Structure formats: C-alpha cells, structure tokens
Structure 1
C-alpha cells in the first residue's frame, strides 16, 4: 500500500469522526502541515511511528499482510517505468504522483515527466489519471494536469486526448 492510500483512508476516518486536522495533529504529535500533506498524498516520506500515532487518534490500526495482487493494472507503476526509459537516474513513483497532484514538477522530474506525456499512449495517461483521481478532490486533478502541461510545454493536442475522461 502506498503512503497516499494510507493518507486517503486516514482522512476518511478523521472526517467520519468529525475531527479537525488541527485536533488530530495535536493529539498525534505531528504538525498540521504534515497531516495535510499526508492526507493529500504530498508527503514524500513519513516515519511509521508518526503514521501509527495518527492512525491511533482516528481509531485505525495498520498491519502488515502479504500484498494481494491488484485488480487491473497499476498505472502509476507503469507510468513511472515509462518515464524512466532512457534516463540514467530514475524518477520515483512519489515524484510522478506529486507532480500530478500539485501541478508542478521538481527540476529532477521534469525531463522524465515530459517524456512520459509526449511518448506514452493516451491509454496509459488516462489510466494514470483515473488511478490518481481516486486520491484527489474533484476538479483539482484536471486543473493541476493543465498546469503541469503548461509548465512542461507539452503539445496540447495530446493533452486533449487524455483529458476527455479526467
């Protein structure tokens, strides 16, 4: 399970209990900014002790179980592999995810993301957007993709093909 999936579930639990981010952050000993980043899938790395503390406050537990095979394709993993073709230093899944969720790419990830957007079949990008949409607020993903496309100067005709479903 990815950190973004954990953050999404923790947000759902927090909201179902009617707790504010400030309350959960204070009770778990993390900053509100860290909690916001975790819930939005933007945190790059977070120690297990902090995740467990947050989970405890919202009445959840984490357990290690053998990973089940995912139903369908994992488009984030597929897109990350495609983005890394031809590059000596790879970009990580979290960097690809962060770029699509925020609409900005780090200097290190820009060439990889441009390659991904220019060379990948539209089905891969649409699958990636569908997968990420489950972790994003409605409308935010399409705005951030448009922002990312402008930042990377990707051909707008290609973008129109994938944005039909986003």
Structure 2
C-alpha cells in the first residue's frame, strides 16, 4: 500500500470519527496542510513516526485495519475517568453525556479527566462508539471542544 492509498483510508476514518483535519493535525502534532496533502494523495513523503501518530489517533495500523486491542473505548474511558472519584460514570452514562452535550455537575471532574488525561486514540474511538445517526461524531467533538474551553483544560488540542 502506498502513501496515497493510506491517505485515502485516513480520510475515510477521520470523516467516520467526526474529526476535522485540524483536529487530527493538532492531535498528531502536524500541520493541517500536511493532513490535507496526505488525504489528497499529494504528499510526497511523511516519516514513519509522523504517519504512525496520525494512524494511532484514528485507530489504524499500518495495514489500515482496525487493531484488535481496544474492544470498547467507552468502557476503557469510563473506567479510567472514574478511578479517582466516588461517583462512577458507566459507559452508558458517558455515551449519553457525550451525545447530549450536557455535563452533570457531579461528573464534570470525570469529563475533565477525559479531556486532559485519557489517551487521544481512546477518546476518538469512544466518540465514534457514542455517535448515532441523530448525533454524529462531529457533533460530539464539538461538545468536547466546548467543554474544554469552558473548563480551561490543560491539553491544548481542543
């Protein structure tokens, strides 16, 4: 598989995940222009480390298939963000909150942990799992971005 074919797979997966090129660029530490060129097949070369960073964000491996390691990102994320708190956020609750964009006060610290500490590939996959035809992943990403600004989280990618 060549770089142009990989770029096409990256484009498809990015759209499916509801991410903008700008999001993927920030998450991977690249420019939006580089992501655009990668997706359009006009990028001549991209080092392994940079390409891997983009693919990891989208849950792709070098064969551009879903890696088998992460079965339910919502479960992993819910468990991870509930570790330090008495109130436990279940995967179903996390999914509902992500879709609604309404963060109950008692779960604001959990969601801040999601935005600041949860590995980005887990967040991206959890968003994709929570998405529905009525609430696409792109809308959920907007909710995350709004919360990040409102709560002034430390991770600057939002």
Which bin holds the TM-score, normalised by the shorter protein? 0.3 to 0.5
Provide the TM-score with structure 1 as the length reference: 0.46
Provide the TM-score with structure 2 as the length reference: 0.48
- Tell me which structure has the larger Cα radius of gyration: 1
